[in-house]
Amino acid sequence: MHRPKNFCVLLLVSLLLAGCSSSTGPDGPPPPKTTRVGGVLLVDGEPSPLVKGVVELKLYPKGREVKPGESVPECIVGQDGKYTFSSYRDGDGAEPGDYVLSAELLRMGLGDLFGPDQFLNNFNSPLNEDARFQVKIGDGEAVEIPTIDIKTSELKQQPNHPFASPTGKRK
């Protein structure tokens, strides 16, 4: 009976062929060149404690229409107030261009983020014209965005729009 030996040879050949398969290669072209983009965001002069929520930042391309759900560079602000944007890989930054930075303070629960925005929709629109939220990214040189300090006492409720996180779990 040579079945165990034949089975082992068949298994070895199958594994070798699977390892040589082109389906395990890259799925497409390499991602575009990005530049590191980061900074510090404070809430009322201090890093936002997790009891208030999680601050999510996004970079929307300036001067062109962005569709809700379109992939844009984003990040979560750390407990120390520091952040670094990611586009294709963790911390890789963003492609060169002009951007509008958006910020939302969201609740965290069961590993997910929940709206509504506790910054009352003041900073989550790609149409925001506040100079503190305008970002220019060049080719290759890291960009350190000047510290942004959001004063919650100055916030007034703004209307919902397509980019605002809805009440409840985000999609």
Residue 141 pLDDT more than 80? yes
Residues 6+ positions from 8 with CB-CB distance below 8 Å: none
What pLDDT does residue 46 have? 93
Instruction: Give the residue-averaged pLDDT of 83-109.
Output: 94
Residue 156 pLDDT more than 80? yes
Q: Centre a 10 Å sphere on the Cβ of residue 96 and count the other Cβ atoms it contains.
A: 17
What pLDDT does residue 168 have? 63
What pLDDT does residue 20 have? 34
Mean pLDDT, the chain, integer: 82
C-beta of residue 108 within 8 angstroms of C-beta of residue 75: no
The more confident residue out of 12 and 2 is: 2
CATH 2.60.40, domain 37-169, yes or no: yes
The more confident residue out of 98 and 6 is: 98
What pLDDT does residue 40 have? 97
SS3 98: strand
Domain limits, the chain: 37-169
Identify each DSSP E strand in 11-94 by its residue range: 37-43, 54-61, 74-76, 82-84
The token duo for 88 is 């294709």
Per-residue pLDDT tens for 22-77? 333 357 788 889 999 999 999 999 998 777 789 999 999 998 877 776 789 999 99
What pLDDT does residue 151 have? 94
What pLDDT does residue 64 have? 81
